[in-house]
Structure 1
Amino acid sequence: RNESEAIKDIVENVEKLLDKTILFIATNPVGVESRVNDIIQLLDRDIQKSHDVLLLGMWGMGGVGKTTIAKAIYNKFGSKFEGRSFLANIREVWEENAGQAKLQEQLLSDICKEMTTKVPSVEYGKMTLKDRLCHKRVLIILDDVNTLEQLNALCGSHKWFGSGSRIIITTRDMNLLRGNRVDQLYPMKGMNESESIELFSWHAFKQASPTKDFAEISRNVVEYSGGLPLALEVLGSYLFDREVTEWKSVIDKLKRIPNDQVHKKLKISYDSLSDDTVKEIFLDIACFFIGMDRNDVMLILNGCGLFAEIGLSILVERCLVIVDYNNILRMHHLLRDMGREIVREKSPEELEERCRLWFPEDVLHILSEQTGTKAIKGLTLKLPRANAKCFSSEAFKKMTKLRLLQLAGVKLDGDFKYLSRNLRWLSWNGFPLRYIPANFYREKLVSIELVNSNVKLVWKKAQN
């Protein structure tokens, strides 16, 4: 080797020694290594010798650990590249004053080690990035991307980067990764039971498993968290060094009101929905339609004028709703609770001013006291047959905008004309009458379900 090559090697080694950019992951990184190894297989086993430029998308709901895993990959393999950059919280930074230029400048600074480069416009930044990075083998993490505009400004195409580069994008929105925008996709899954118990225990007990007296109640909290690392960490830290009675009180409260820190993190996905009809669909599913057939729900939602096909597609892309293999709508119950809390927090004191009612005690109060208002769009009350209750039909008189009604173990006494003329869905398990009264307005109904009913004749006479 000649002298210049030796000097080059020395310079590279010194640069590596000086580059001590290690990102904090977690004090107890449970489940991280196995997920990192899964992603490395997608990136190529020999990450140092592969010559292709490869983009990988990590997709999953908020709080599932996308950023944590991306940090671990950055720490473990960043030194194998000529340059590396971790752009954190892109969604938030992008909205800041001059945030777009700031992100492009950080990318240039991290990789080219130049502090003086200023980006006067996004278009200028694109040209500069392409020019400076096209011959460099780089590792770039784009964390929490939520618009195509961000992707186009920070990694316009494979041609921007040198041979062997790896670009990892974390997002809650599958739509950003469609159309060959990435070469590999890694859907983030929640933790299994053993991982969940261990992560929760490190935060709640400062050890890898629960103490004996708290073993059973810990499992209740872990079950509630549904494998979501964010919830396991937040609730574990909150419950640390508290008495069993306090734990029970927290669990009871969570049944009505979700943890604020978890709620705010998950609500970001809801707030990012720019279309009010999609938000309405999400809230309807969270309150009434979980566990129902997708086609049946779309019929009802389209009857409400909510453009169900595209709306439901967006919710699936954003990890807010799941359609399982049997075409059944599912939702992580922390997302369900987030949706229901959005409804509750708009009127925490006055039940009758909430747009949707699902909690039995709340609905019993509204129907018994006849305090319903036009604010109510949907209502469900399912009681065991043995505890069936009878209410006056006048309890529905002021619910003029009610479009979704689900009842079980309920009887109505009085005139059916008081039921909303805007009703689109009526599900009444155990409907007590032999026929549906003629003065029940049904012109806008698109779905009527009368399981276990006494109906012998649907309509006794035609409605004018």
Structure 2
Amino acid sequence: MFVVVISENYARSSWCLDELVEILSSKRKRNQVVPVFYYVNPSDLRHHKGSFGVALEKHKKRHSANRIEKWKLALAEIADLSGYHLEDAEDFVFSIKMNGSEADIVRNIVENVLPQASRKVLHLDTCLFGIDLAVEEIYQQLSMESNDVRALGICGLGGVGKTTAAKAFYNKYSHKFDVSCFLENVKQNSQGGSPLFHLLQQLLTELLRAKDSKVRDVESALRKLREILSSKKALVVLDDLDQSSYSEFLVRICKLFSDGSRMIITARDLNLPNQLKVELSKVNTYMVRHLNEINSLELFSYHAFKKSKPPGKYLALSESFVTYAGGLPLALKMLGSSLCGRTNMSFWKAKFQKLEKMPMNDIQKILQMSYDELEDDTEKAIFLDIVFFFVGKNIDEAVDVFKSCDLFPEAGIPILIERCLLTIDRNNRFQMHNLIQDMGRNIIFEESKHGPCRRLYLNQEEACQALPNLGEMDKIEGLIIDLTMSTNKYCNAEIFERLPNLRLLKLVDVHGIKGNFKTSFRELRCISWHGCPWMHLPSAIHLQKLVFLDMPFSRFETLWKIAELPSLHHLNLDGCIHLKELPESIGHLTKLDHLNVNDCVTLKRLPKPITQLATLSFLDMSGCRNLKLLPQQLGDMKGLQRLDASCTAIEQLPDSIAHLKKLVHLDLSGCEKLRKLPEQFGNMEAYGSGLEQLPDSFSDLLNLVSLHLFNCSQLKRLPEQLGKMQCLSSWGRCISYIN
């Protein structure tokens, strides 16, 4: 957090102005900035008047126009931030007017700012309109001054700003609670397996600020939640939770809350909040309103011109676009972004004429303009593949698949982000606004109606009946078979024989494939099959081009054909409780980058050849509770960056681990049998491990920034020279008997 004190002579210093530019750049990366206007009028900063205007004029003699323009933008930006003001200003409505002695003022500012400095801050766009009013209305709806338990449903059309309003409220008021969490995109991130259990895991992980909640089922998760929530005032925000099936669960959560706690959910409609009202007496709803004409024009102009008002000659056309968008922030942002940098008036007029031919209320067609204007077919293919297959998936997994298909993702994905068609969340996963994803699905549907079908979704009996009726089946590149609602849970291998160019395959609730594989899957790059019933890979299957094998919770006992997957980059065997061993031939997977054997509880060892995987950067074997030893030559895995051995039975680490120069994260939490660490060591997290001491050489880690030793109850002593670690800024509380 930055507290910036701006006085009358602030702009005289080029150093101060450069620092301000850097601080505001940091703000965009989620750091908070709080201005203190020390007897200056923010209007003078915004419009470069008074002493600020004079100083900027003098700087023109010594500094470049580009540098001065950055200073002007920074001064204008900080003038619009909420902060503290030591003098009245008619047009400054966001700041707190400070009275009393300067010492009292400093004390008040510190007391207000300090609780916010240590809490999680959610990212918000730099340009928001009407948000302060929305936050205060949410505050009133939640009756924040009362000491009872309340819930609120924030509702409205997709793209209207429900998530933004919830985030802004969270950022402003979460410090008033003992514990708080904000779960984004709940509906998307809870798909597959047990959505309710997955949601509970996310909730516990956020509340505990831990990587993994380590609970086994719904009831144990609820018991853990009761321990946390029964004695603490909590704020829980669940974003994008439309399913009515969650209502009973939400009621149970609210009944665990202690006095003063609050729950917020965001949803497209009123169905879920209304269901909660049946069980809970103090549930309100807040409908997010569309922006008014003034704020709409400002938002559109910010994205089209990077300023609050459009130039005169563009004003009339800008107002036409704003009227068409109907106050929907997402549409305003996307329309403005599509016109940014376009100076030809003919282009603007043609763009609006194109809009006029579309129905006014058809938001999907507004969104599709950004897709239609993609200049490259590979960008469109990447977008549709993400819509079809990769929303919520890790970007690294998808990028490797796209590379293998010659789609050039390093060039295409940034374009999709720039066009507001795609975002990357803080966990490095693809996310997409619901309206945009719906638009993409509609494109896929129309594609199958009017031309060769490239991506196909089949459910129920369609999996056995629809394919023979399709023409040009050799054009199909993506296939999802979902038998969730079908009584017949099996599909026939003959289906795949007719799909020679299949690249992406996902099987949902499919209990088996009948028949033999002959020439199938020769072009397949990615297969996702949760709960695969195979005990081993079929001998006749051909997967030479496979990049991503996603088969968690499957019945594999061994993977003896794994060496026949020479292109494999990502292997996910999470929760394969029958997997007894990995084959020695795994050392032949020279391109393997990610290996996940999390919760493979019967796995007792890793094969020695695994140390030959020089490209492996991520290895997760957490929860392998029968895994006692790591290969002695672990240090040969030169590319390893993240190693998770939490909740395993390992008793010691091989000395060669010191050779992992690229290792940035090592998790040993829950390793109760681990008694000591090698003398030469790197970064680590050791939550609840059995460590008794740290080696003296640990103090030589002069660049270590963060050390977490939570609940290491056996830890007796720390190295004498720990004070040499001058970069250590985060010291986790250690519950132990340290002398």
Normalised to the residue count of structure 1, the TM-score between the two structures is 0.51
Measure the CA separation in 2 of the matches of 1:124 and 1:105.
Answer: 10
Partner residue, 1:61: 157
Match of 2:213, SS?
Answer: coil
Partner residue, 1:236: 336
Partner residue, 1:360: none
Mark the CA change 1:115 to 1:183 in structure 2 (over 3 Å): closer, same or farther: same
Mark the CA change 1:192 to 1:244 in structure 2 (over 3 Å): closer, same or farther: same
**Identity across aligned pairs (percent)?**
36
Please tell me whether the aligned partners of residues 201 and 212 of structure 2 are also in contact (alpha carbons under 8 angstroms). no
Mark the CA change 1:345 to 1:199 in structure 2 (over 3 Å): closer, same or farther: farther
The reply on whether 1:196 has 2:292 as its aligned counterpart is no
Instruction: Kindly provide the CA deviation profile for residues 145-167 of structure 1, in whole angstroms up to 9, marking residues without a partner as x.
Output: 01133344455253211110111
Measure the CA separation in 1 of the matches of 2:349 and 2:450.
Answer: 23
How much has 1:97 moved relative to structure 2? 5.2
Measure the CA separation in 1 of the matches of 2:155 and 2:347.
Answer: 36
Please tell me whether the aligned partners of residues 145 and 151 of structure 1 are also in contact (alpha carbons under 8 angstroms). no
Match of 2:236, SS?
Answer: strand
Mark the CA change 1:32 to 1:230 in structure 2 (over 3 Å): closer, same or farther: same
How much has 1:253 moved relative to structure 2? 2.8
Please tell me whether the aligned partners of residues 244 and 271 of structure 2 are also in contact (alpha carbons under 8 angstroms). no
Candidates 342, 366, 372, aligned match of 1:258: 366
The reply on whether 1:127 has 2:223 as its aligned counterpart is yes
Candidates 281, 285, 299, aligned match of 1:185: 285
Q: Which amino acid in the other structure matches residue 244 of structure 1?
A: M
Quote the RMSD (CA, aligned, Å): 3.7
Mark the CA change 1:216 to 1:110 in structure 2 (over 3 Å): closer, same or farther: same
Partner residue, 2:346: 245
Partner residue, 1:117: 213
Candidates 127, 136, 149, aligned match of 1:37: 136
Instruction: Kindly provide the CA deviation profile for residues 397-426 of structure 1, in whole angstroms up to 9, marking residues without a partner as x.
Output: xxxxxxxxxxxxxxxxxxxxxxxxxxxxxx
How much has 1:238 moved relative to structure 2? 1.1
Please tell me whether the aligned partners of residues 238 and 265 of structure 2 are also in contact (alpha carbons under 8 angstroms). yes
Mark the CA change 1:230 to 1:52 in structure 2 (over 3 Å): closer, same or farther: same
Q: Which amino acid in the other structure matches residue 30 of structure 1?
A: F
The reply on whether 1:22 has 2:121 as its aligned counterpart is yes
Instruction: Kindly provide the CA deviation profile for residues 28-58 of structure 1, in whole angstroms up to 9, marking residues without a partner as x.
Output: 11111111111111112xx3x5210110011
Match of 1:61, SS?
Answer: coil
Match of 1:189, SS?
Answer: coil
Partner residue, 1:314: none
Measure the CA separation in 1 of the matches of 2:369 and 2:186.
Answer: 20
Partner residue, 2:187: 91
Please tell me whether the aligned partners of residues 258 and 338 of structure 1 are also in contact (alpha carbons under 8 angstroms). no
Measure the CA separation in 1 of the matches of 2:116 and 2:133.
Answer: 28
Point out the more displaced range, 230-239 or 157-166: 157-166
Mark the CA change 1:16 to 1:96 in structure 2 (over 3 Å): closer, same or farther: farther
Q: Which amino acid in the other structure matches residue 162 of structure 1?
A: S
Mark the CA change 1:246 to 1:13 in structure 2 (over 3 Å): closer, same or farther: closer
Partner residue, 2:242: 146
Measure the CA separation in 2 of the matches of 1:340 and 1:252.
Answer: 23
Measure the CA separation in 1 of the matches of 2:209 and 2:196.
Answer: 19
Match of 1:259, SS?
Answer: helix
Match of 1:145, SS?
Answer: coil
Q: Which amino acid in the other structure matches residue 162 of structure 2?
A: K
Partner residue, 1:224: 324
How much has 1:144 moved relative to structure 2? 0.3
Candidates 265, 268, 282, aligned match of 1:172: 268
How much has 1:127 moved relative to structure 2? 3.1
Measure the CA separation in 2 of the matches of 1:54 and 1:142.
Answer: 14
How much has 1:85 moved relative to structure 2? 0.3
Please tell me whether the aligned partners of residues 301 and 310 of structure 2 are also in contact (alpha carbons under 8 angstroms). yes
Please tell me whether the aligned partners of residues 303 and 333 of structure 2 are also in contact (alpha carbons under 8 angstroms). yes
Measure the CA separation in 2 of the matches of 1:202 and 1:71.
Answer: 21
Match of 2:239, SS?
Answer: strand
How much has 1:241 moved relative to structure 2? 1.1
Please tell me whether the aligned partners of residues 60 and 171 of structure 1 are also in contact (alpha carbons under 8 angstroms). yes
Match of 2:123, SS?
Answer: coil
Measure the CA separation in 2 of the matches of 1:153 and 1:126.
Answer: 10
Partner residue, 1:353: none
Please tell me whether the aligned partners of residues 331 and 366 of structure 2 are also in contact (alpha carbons under 8 angstroms). no
Mark the CA change 1:188 to 1:218 in structure 2 (over 3 Å): closer, same or farther: same
Mark the CA change 1:235 to 1:171 in structure 2 (over 3 Å): closer, same or farther: same
The reply on whether 1:208 has 2:308 as its aligned counterpart is yes
Mark the CA change 1:261 to 1:137 in structure 2 (over 3 Å): closer, same or farther: farther
Please tell me whether the aligned partners of residues 134 and 159 of structure 1 are also in contact (alpha carbons under 8 angstroms). no
Please tell me whether the aligned partners of residues 142 and 168 of structure 1 are also in contact (alpha carbons under 8 angstroms). yes
Normalised to the residue count of structure 2, the TM-score between the two structures is 0.33
How much has 1:250 moved relative to structure 2? 2.2
Q: Structure 2: any 5+ residue segments left out of the alignment?
A: 1-110, 359-364, 373-387, 389-435, 453-739
Measure the CA separation in 2 of the matches of 1:39 and 1:187.
Answer: 10
Mark the CA change 1:108 to 1:154 in structure 2 (over 3 Å): closer, same or farther: farther
How much has 1:207 moved relative to structure 2? 0.8
Please tell me whether the aligned partners of residues 146 and 176 of structure 1 are also in contact (alpha carbons under 8 angstroms). yes
Partner residue, 2:375: none
Please tell me whether the aligned partners of residues 122 and 153 of structure 1 are also in contact (alpha carbons under 8 angstroms). no
How much has 1:190 moved relative to structure 2? 0.8
How much has 1:123 moved relative to structure 2? 3.4
How much has 1:343 moved relative to structure 2? 8.8
Partner residue, 1:393: none
Match of 1:258, SS?
Answer: helix
Measure the CA separation in 2 of the matches of 1:340 and 1:116.
Answer: 37
Partner residue, 1:302: none
Partner residue, 2:168: 72
Aligned pairs (5 A) from 1:314-353: 347=449
Q: Structure 1: any 5+ residue segments left out of the alignment?
A: 1-11, 265-270, 272-333, 351-464
How much has 1:263 moved relative to structure 2? 9.2
Measure the CA separation in 2 of the matches of 1:183 and 1:118.
Answer: 31
Q: Which amino acid in the other structure matches residue 246 of structure 1?
A: F
Instruction: Kindly provide the CA deviation profile for residues 108-145 of structure 1, in whole angstroms up to 9, marking residues without a partner as x.
Output: 23323454531322333233223421221011111000
Please tell me whether the aligned partners of residues 119 and 175 of structure 2 are also in contact (alpha carbons under 8 angstroms). no
Q: Which amino acid in the other structure matches residue 238 of structure 2?
A: L
Aligned length in residues: 270
Moved over 4 A (4+): 12-18, 96-100, 261-264, 337-350
Match of 1:167, SS?
Answer: strand
Please tell me whether the aligned partners of residues 231 and 262 of structure 1 are also in contact (alpha carbons under 8 angstroms). no
